[in-house]
Structure 1
Amino acid sequence: MDKLILIDGNSLSFRAFYALPLLQNKAGIHTNAIYGFVRLLEKVLKEEQPTHFLVAFDAGKTTFRHADYAEYKGGRQKTPTELSEQFPYIRQLLSTYAIKTYELDNYEADDIIGTLSREADEAGMETIIISGDRDLTQLASDNVTIYYTKKGVTDVDHYTPAFIAEKYQGLEPKQIIDMKGLMGDASDNIPGVAGVGEKTAIKLLNQFGSVEAVYEDIDAVSGKKLKEKLLASKEDALMSKKLATIHRESPIEVSLADTRLPESYDETEKIALFKELEFRQMLDEVDSIPSEEAPSKTFEISTDLRTIDFEQLDEATVHIEVAGANYLKDDLLKFGIYDGVQYVVSSIEDLTAHQPAINWLSNVNTSIITYDAKKLYTAMKRLGIDLQNVTFDAMLASYLIDPSQTIDDVHSVVSRFKNTHVQEDVTIYGKGKSYKVPEDSVLNAHIASILDAIAISKPEMTETLESHQQLDLLTELELPLARILSEMEFTGIYTDRETLQVMESDIQQRLDQLIENIHEQAGETFNLNSPKQLGVILFEKLELPVIKKTKTGYSTAVDVLEKLHGQHPIIENILTYRTLSKLQSTYVEGLQKVIWDDKRIHTRFNQTLAQTGRLSSVDPNLQNIPIRLEEGRQIRKAFKSSHEDYVILAADYSQIELRVLAHITGDPTLQKAFINNEDVHTTTAMKVFNVEADEVTSLMRRQAKAVNFGIVYGISDYGLSQSLGITRKEAQQFIDDYLAHFPGVKTYMETIVQDAKQQGYVETLLHRRRYIPDITSRNFNKRGFAERTAMNSPIQGSAADIIKKAMVDFHEAVQVTDFKAELLLQVHDELIFEVPKDEVERFSQFVEDIMVNALELDVPLSVESEYGPTWYDAK
């Protein structure tokens, strides 16, 4: 039997947006609403197996209902830009599923759904309508069920005529509009009858049947006051019913036949979108991701390194193949080299036994071309080979040319160039449980194809980098940095397991005490980690107000508990328990699992992930240790100097992004604040609030700080309102006042957008590019996000470039000193060193001088360094 699914696209997008925390992909696109939407799609397609599908959207803010009542839906807050920017992707997502979308000028999505559901009902077709808008429940019939999403997109009530009769004491679906006529609807700004609520409306309808019947027999209404209310609001009641009535004869140009789903569709576009949005879980759930077939090419491959005359070799392409992503410890499989004539793929044992190859790799005068220099440096270090002179890295070059391109493996980079033949890693190795190292013939051919592709793509990449003024960025910054990061990864940071164990015991004692206190406050023992049991305690036994329900009971999510803060002492204890429990499992216990036999943690730095140029780290992510809580900061006590005669020293840039903002914008007030060493947040507060320095309160300074950093990160009124706990109107006023007092910043924001529109990209101070294709999009939401990206990318990217340059400058400068200090970590704007105690004073000054002079700006850079026996003490 045919089955039609009709979705209210706007309603479900809003539900998904507010149900999930703000998520972003590496391009900075918010993805929470898209992700929630796709999870719903997958669920519906799997469980309902529809034959027909349509998603209806509102065409605009004005509809035919505004002619009857200009204030219809008035007072609604403007859609957050973080949601607006996701609508085009939701539409694109639906297209990849071959699901029809439709909108109609002057009508709402409800009217489209109402018209189609009527046609389907008349045809006897089973129909399911999915929406977070209760208005649509008026459409319920024997063939039409409304799935009303109460919270989020999965907590659903099924509105059938029987359900409506039970919920509304005998009312029929068609009487929902009469109920709205009497009680109104605040969400749509429908007035109804002042003073009449749901209970009274249902009572009247059970007696009279409709709004019109109430007024036709008004004398039969019991209660003088109620009768007066009804008479005073008669016009509003009749108008409200009309406003709430879905138009089921809308002039739509889409038929039921148009909504039929194809029996099958090409998933290529869907997979590409999942990759772009970084929906890794969704990709894992795709039954089979088609491999992009690389054109075949046969290589003559030697396995004997003696066929190459290393003494006469000036330049060659080199590759080392590793069995897995962690080149610090995964098996090294093969070594490959291409001298321009022949491809040689040897075993690792043969490489380490062949002295001419080792000498060549260690020679500063040879030129080595590769893919992923950092991996190559590390692998060679593992083999005891002092690799010297990598002059080109295809992965880094690709990243600089266009950082928006996803880099998964060699194929993902070189397949953009003609005549390359590299297959995806998943094709060679499989994935998950099916992963295995292939036989030598397959592996050797794969490595030869990699060598060939790197050699083919290098000239074109080099030409592009030169034309973009980026060749120095590769050769003078990113390539030297790759070697530095390799050394840092290989060295690792000493981590004291005993400190973590003591911390684990202390936190467990606190957790045990919290559990005891919570049980005492609850009046009984229960499983605190069971949301179901906790919900019963909070909302039934303690009778706290229910904020949100799920299919399995009451929601006890953090956002729910935070709304209950102050209503009962148990809430604060539960929130503390949750925080400490996560800290315990993720970090205190988690870090113990990744300490190597050398008593160090060896994280890996990702050099080609963030489009701004920032570094990130994995296995483990040491840049993500929570430091807002004291318990989180305490974790840094486990990171110690490896010897009692050494200390940990942290050198940290102070407000580097705001200083870059002052330099790039040329704003005189901002520049003056930094040149005169003023507190920039106090200066901002003085300007925005029009007060003197001694009148700036801590709240004023906090709000000014949020706006200062918000400007850097392209904050919206919604984002600022969330961080400060104020209304969006107040947040927008704050932003407007800021820009009025910092005209240089305002001019920059306008100018950089125009530059991006003309060029298609923005640049950092060192010519790192970020392409912004949507800057000229006709779609308002995409264009708005692109404009914010254009504003903040040069600032964030320049700050990232500065600390990278400081690392390279330090590495060069320290070579000609007698310092024994080692650089261990880079965390955001901070460099972490291990330094002998007798060097620390000299070394602090040495490092600070290098960092403040990394790049000359119109305002001074500022660096603060501190040291102690642990990373914690150095902060």
Structure 2
Amino acid sequence: MERLHVVDGHGYIFRAHFGLMNASSRSERREVRLSTKDGMPTGALYVFARMLLRLREDVGPERIAVVFDAGRKNFRTEIYPEYKANRPPAPEDLAIQMPRFAPLVAALGWPVLAIPGVEADDVVATLATAAAGRGWDCTIYSADKDLMQLVGEHTAVIDAMRAQTYTRDAVIEKFGVPPERVADFLALRGDTSDNIPGVAGVGDKTAAELVNTYPDLEALIAANPKVRGKHPLGDPAQVERLRISRRLVELDRAVALPMAVDDLRAKPWDHDALRAIFTELEFGNLIEKIDRTPSASGAPAAPVTIEPVAGLGPAPTVADDAAAIAALCAAVRAAGRCGLAVETVGRFDRAVVVGLALAPPDAAPGYVPLAHRSLAAGPPPSDAALAPLVALLADPAVAKVVHDCKHAERCLRGRGWALAGVVDDPMLARFLLDASAPSTVDAVAAAIGLTVPSYSAAVGRAGSFEASAPVEAAAWVGAAAAIGLAAAPRLAAGLTQRGLDGLYRDLELPIAQLLVEVERTGICIDGPHFARMSAEVGQQIATLEAQVAEAGGAGVNLGSPKQLAHLLFETLGLESDRMKKTKTGYSVDHDVLESLIDVHPIIRPILEHRELTKLRGTYLDALPPLVHPKTGRLHTLFNQVVAATGRISSQDPNLQNIPIRTEVGRAIRRGFVAAPGKVLLAADYSQIELRIMAHLSGDPVLVKAFRDGVDVHAQTAAEVLELPLAQITAKERRIAKAVNYGLIYGQSDFGLARALDIPKRDAKDYIDRYFARLPTVRRFMDQLVAEAKAAGGARTLLGRWRPIPELASKSPVARRAGERVAQNTPLQGAGADILKRAMLACARRIERDRLPAAMLLTVHDELVFEVDPDRAEAIGEIVKEEMSAAYALDVPLEVDLGIARSWADC
């Protein structure tokens, strides 16, 4: 059935303004910037825009009108000049905003109705009546009690701020009378806000009793009943007041409309106009919100086209003496721009720069050999010969395009050289355009229609890059520099087309430069602690091996999948519905072993043995040798172009995978310590992805829990199980937590059953009840999938784009996987982007205030700093302030702080 949606525009405006002013908590007030930098009030406009955008997301109305008043003069003021005469003018800060509401609605693509000489309530009544006459349903969005008289079989009123829908029964419950008698009720009781006189001495209760006793007001007047011992309608003046009041509250349902009701249709929003409005009002997060929506009409996002390059130009040359280096630098300075490629060998934290190439525009790239060991190389250039190059690299006025600028800067600084003026990184740009595609030099070259010379040809028969001849190396490194320079403007155009330019320049490029500092700083570890742990874990491993032998596995090498499979499936004859046959035999991966855990007592020690062996080899024995001989600290490599969600990952060593809930995992973290005279400060976002889900979905249960600061998992359990919060058990909270987080990863009933070790039917029942009690979450998750299918991918709050081709797959399994990606990308991706914002904010604050603090690690949603003990608490509050303000969600961004000598104790 067709449905007409009618929004009480002025009602929304005043609810937005006074709802904002009445926000009592600091967290609610800080969500909204109340004015622009120039001092223009914007609070009501911000909340109003959020309300309409939420309505658009939740309902997606096809037929809609937003109705505003157009002046106070109308037939009611002619009947009764005192009508609304007691209303004060709008507050000055709201009055300033008033002219901007209707254009905002128009930019959204929704019809605006404001008829001079006609009250908005009468326009709403006419629309509702016309909709009913066409057999349509009508939903009115308003808290105006006068509009309750319109409620009927096809018409409902929704008070969005209170999440209350008024049907016939709800009206009766609120007023004590049915909708068709609401006008009589209001006429009797009067209304001081509208200056409607009513009958003296008649309140809500008496008015309802009188309305329900008499069929209409004339019958009531004729009966002249006693009210508290008096006959109020025995006074002709009171009768006149009643009749006037009745005419004032009755709605005109047949006003002349400026456009046909059938033409009240939503159009695609005018993105440019809406963006211009939000830009002027400085609504940064609303700009990001509309930018991440692929298109108003739901059409797929247009494919990004990258202009090909005809060719690379002149072949690279070798600049290995003072004259050649000076000439190369002069050509770059004359152009003001160059491509830069740096080639190294060795582990990242002690890499040796073998050579680098500069590619000026429209000139041959020049390769400067620095550490070749071939006979053809000759001695490296002298410091004097390299001086122009060192100065050029450090000059911010010379723009440089560098593929993997983080690696280049870190390695150059390891040599004692500075790098400034990096304006583009093709690796980061390529990854932002398509995180599922490679972002190597070869991939960037292919994107612009070029082919990179073979790396193996550059190495040649020498076997390693540093042993190759400079002329051979120049072909590869020089081409890499030229390709980066040629690709940069073309990739930038693609970023702009996809709406990613701001994310690239304001977030990813600065983060790359910040990570150089974090990687170079490193963190101290307690070597003796790791040695003791390794010995202890070794004893535990031996004990587990003895248990396995006693259970029937004597002589079996637990590190051999083939021997283990033979033991379990042939010797012991175990069976599992998860058994998988591989080329070399049956699989004994974690899933298979876990499915057998209740089948035979040998499985549990095998699983524990596998876990401890992995942790010992990956961390306990592997970390101490990685400590840098000069810094005495452990340095990890952070990656920006690995996780498609935008999360920063780490490797060599991978600190993301240290378990935090096991005893051994906590003991490993205890080995990460502060330098002498320092302490560690850990700042961790609390439940950031759930908070993002609450923000995006607007689910009232989650939003209220986070705003009230209550345990969100216990609150969810209470809501689903319909129990008081105080009665929720630890087990019930654990289930609710698993469901809350499972939603982010698109977990099924089967997955929940496995995670909680409960029957699948129980998991399904809980999920069904969860969505029944939190229907907004279900609609939100479904909406994410629908939007991703329409656009071909998903976006985060800050605009990060992730193509999801699996959504169009013919394979049901692939499509379901794509749907899970569509659901978790906006949540995980937004969390990653917010953490990056927080990193930059903290780093800038540390530099600005010259704080005795250094950022050491970023792991998941956590930042770890090394600080002076006497300033630790003060610095912690600064970090918390910056992280909490990294993005304005509808719920507070909470940060947990810890200060201690070791990471585990923070």
TM-score scaled by length of structure 1: 0.61
Does the aligned pair in 1 maintain the 2:339–2:485 contact within 8 Å?
no
- Bigger radius of gyration: 2
Which residue number in structure 2 is paired with residue 600 of structure 1? Answer: 633
Post-superposition Cα deviations, 1:668-715, rounded to whole Å, max 9, x if no partner, equal 221111111111111111122222212222222111111111111122
Listed as ranges, the matches of 1:454-533 within 5 Å are 454-516=484-546
Name the counterpart of 1:800.
Answer: 832
Tell me, in whole angstroms, the C-alpha distance in 1 between the residues paired with 2:550 and 2:401.
67
Counterpart code for 1:417: I
Q: Find out whether 1:299 has 2:332 as its counterpart.
A: no
Distance in 1, Cα, partners of 2:390 & 2:489: 27
CA–CA distance in 1 between the matches of 2:369 and 2:731?
Answer: 64
Partner AA of 1:503 in structure 2: M
Match of 1:440 in 2: 470
Mean CA deviation greater in 512-521 or 793-802: 512-521
Deviation at 1:661, TM superposition (A): 0.6
Shift in alpha-carbon separation, 1:390–1:648, aligned structure 2, 3 A:
same
Aligned counterpart for 1:322 among listed residues 335, 343, 346 = 343
8 Å contact kept, 2:837–2:886: yes
User: For residues 153-164 of structure 1, what are the structure 2 equivalents within 5 Å?
Assistant: none
Out of 385, 390, 394, the residue aligned to residue 426 of structure 2 is 394
- TM-fit CA distance, 1:764: 0.9
**1:344 counterpart = 2:375:** no
Which residue type is aligned with residue 347 of structure 1?
P
User: 8 Å contact 1:311–1:356 — kept in the other structure?
Assistant: no
Correspondence 1:872 to 2:904? yes
Compared CA separation, residues 540 and 320, structure 1 to 2 (3 A) = closer
CA deviation after TM superposition for structure 1 residue 822, in Å = 0.8
Q: Secondary structure at the match of 2:864?
A: strand
Secondary structure, in 3 states, of the residue corresponding to 2:432?
Answer: helix
The one-letter amino acid paired with 1:600 is R
Aligned counterparts of 1:750 and 1:520: Cα–Cα separation in 2: 52
1:440-493 CA-partner distances (Å, limit 9, x unpaired): 222112222122212221121112222333222111111111011111112221
In the TM superposition, 1:258-297 aligns within 5 A as none
Q: CA deviation at 1:736?
A: 2.7
Contact 2:353/2:412 (<8 A) preserved? no
Give the aligned partner of residue 377 of structure 1.
409
The Cα offsets for residues 224-254 of structure 1, whole Å up to 9 and x where unpaired, read as xxxxxxxxxxxxxxxxxxxxxxxxxxxxxxx
- 1:699 is matched with 731
Shift of 1:523: 11
SS at match of 1:328: helix
* Alpha-carbon contact 1:313-1:366 (below 8 Å) kept: no
**Amino-acid identity (%):** 36
| Alignment root-mean-square deviation, CA | 3.3
Following TM superposition, by how much is the alpha carbon of 1:434 offset from its aligned partner in structure 2, in angstroms?
8.2
Cα distance in structure 2, aligned partners of 1:495 and 1:808: 26
- In the TM superposition, what is the alpha-carbon distance from 1:795 to its structure 2 partner? 1.0
Most deviating of 693-702 and 864-873:
693-702
Report deviation, 1:321. Answer: 3.0
| Equivalent pair of 1:317/1:454 in contact (CA under 8 Å) | no
What residue number does 1:689 align with?
Answer: 721
Matching of residues 571-610 of structure 1 within 5 Å:
572-597=604-629, 598-610=631-643
* AA partner of residue 388 (structure 2): P
In 2, distance between residues paired with 1:453 and 1:538? 55
The letter of the residue matching 1:344 is G
Partner deviation per Cα, 1:156-186 (whole Å, 9 max, x = no partner): xxxxxxxxxxxxxxxxxxxxxxxxxxxxxxx
Matched, 1:666 2:698: yes
1:679 aligns with 2:711: yes
Correspondence list, 1:33-52, <5 A: none
Q: Tell me if structure 1 keeps the 8 A contact 2:720–2:773.
A: yes
Q: Does 1:856 align with 2:888?
A: yes
Asked if the contact 2:394/2:419 (under 8 Å) is kept, the reply is: yes
Of 310-319 and 547-556, more deviation after overlay is shown by: 547-556
Q: Shift in Å at residue 716 of structure 1?
A: 2.3
Contact 1:411 1:423 in 2 (8 A): no
The equivalent position to 1:736 in structure 2, one of 768, 782, 796, is: 768
- Aligned-partner Cα distance in 2 for 1:338–1:539: 61
Show the counterpart of 1:132.
none
Note closer, same or farther for the CA distance 1:519–1:818 as it changes in structure 2 (3 Å cut).
Answer: same
Q: Give the whole-Å Cα distance in 1 for the aligned partners of 2:535 and 2:772.
A: 53
Q: Distance in 1 between matches of 2:815 and 2:564?
A: 45
C-alpha separation in 1, matches of 2:401 and 2:557? 58
Q: Is the 8 A contact 2:459 2:473 kept in 1?
A: no
Q: Distance in 2 between the 1:828 and 1:426 partners?
A: 37
CA displacement at 1:809 relative to structure 2: 1.1
Counterparts in 2 of 1:730 and 1:350: CA distance versus 1, 3 Å: farther
**Closer, same or farther: CA 651–561 of 1 in aligned 2, 3 Å:** same
| Map of 1:840 onto structure 2 | 872
Quote the Cα distance in structure 2 between the aligned partners of 1:822 and 1:578: 36
SS at match of 2:623: helix
2:801 to 766, 769, 788: 769
The question of whether the paired residues in 2 share the 8 Å contact of 1:765 and 1:794 is answered with: yes
2:674 corresponding residue in structure 1: 641
Deviations 1:803-859 (A, max 9, x none): 011111111111111312111111000011111111101111011111010111111
Q: Using the TM superposition, name which of 650-659 and 703-712 deviates more.
A: 703-712
Q: Answer with 764-773 or 826-835: which moved more.
A: 764-773
Q: 1:272 maps to which residue?
A: none
Contact 2:316 2:367 in 1 (8 A): no
Instruction: Report the Cα distance in structure 2 between the residues aligned to 1:396 and 1:475, rounded to whole angstroms.
Output: 10
Distance across 2 between alignment mates of 1:639 and 1:306:
46
Q: Given the alignment of the two structures, is residue 830 of structure 1 paired with residue 862 of structure 2, yes or no? A: yes
CA contact (8 A) 1:760 1:775 kept: yes
In structure 2, runs of 5+ residues without a counterpart are 1-309, 371-379
Distance 1:811 1:313 in 2: 34
TM-score (norm 2): 0.59
Question: CA-to-partner distance for each residue in 1:481-526, whole Å, 9 max, x for gaps?
Answer: 1011111112221122211111111222333344455556669887
**Structure 2 vs 1, CA of residues 422 and 527 (structure 1 numbering), >3 Å: closer, same or farther?**
closer
Q: What's the CA shift for 1:754? A: 2.8
Moved more, 558-567 or 444-453: 558-567
**357-366 or 775-784, which deviates more:** 775-784
Deviation at 1:726, TM superposition (A): 3.1
Distance 1:781 1:311 in 2: 53
- C-alpha separation in 2, matches of 1:553 and 1:462: 50
Whether the 8 Å CA contact 1:314–1:365 is kept in 2: the answer is: no
1:8 alignment counterpart: none
8 Å contact 1:637–1:873 — kept in the other structure? yes
Q: CA deviation at 1:341?
A: 3.8
What is the number of residues matched between the two proteins?
578
What CA distance in whole angstroms lies between the structure 1 residues aligned with 2:751 and 2:383? 55
Name the aligned partner's letter for residue 632 of structure 1. G
Aligned-partner Cα distance in 1 for 2:745–2:805: 19
Structure 1 residue runs without a partner (length 5+): 1-293
2-structure distance, mates of 1:634, 1:366: 48
Q: Aligned letter for 1:809? A: A
Change (3 A) 1:549 1:453: closer
Amino acid at match of 1:461: L
Superposed counterparts of 1:808-823, under 5 Å: 808-823=840-855
Deviations 1:597-642 (A, max 9, x none): 1332211111111111011111111111122310121011221112
Q: Distance in 1 between matches of 2:648 and 2:590?
A: 30
Indicate the SS of the match to 1:415: helix
C-alpha displacement of 1:424 = 5.1
Q: Which residue does the alignment assign to 1:410?
A: 441
Amino acid at match of 1:306: A
Please tell me whether the aligned partners of residues 398 and 421 of structure 2 are also in contact (alpha carbons under 8 angstroms).
Answer: yes
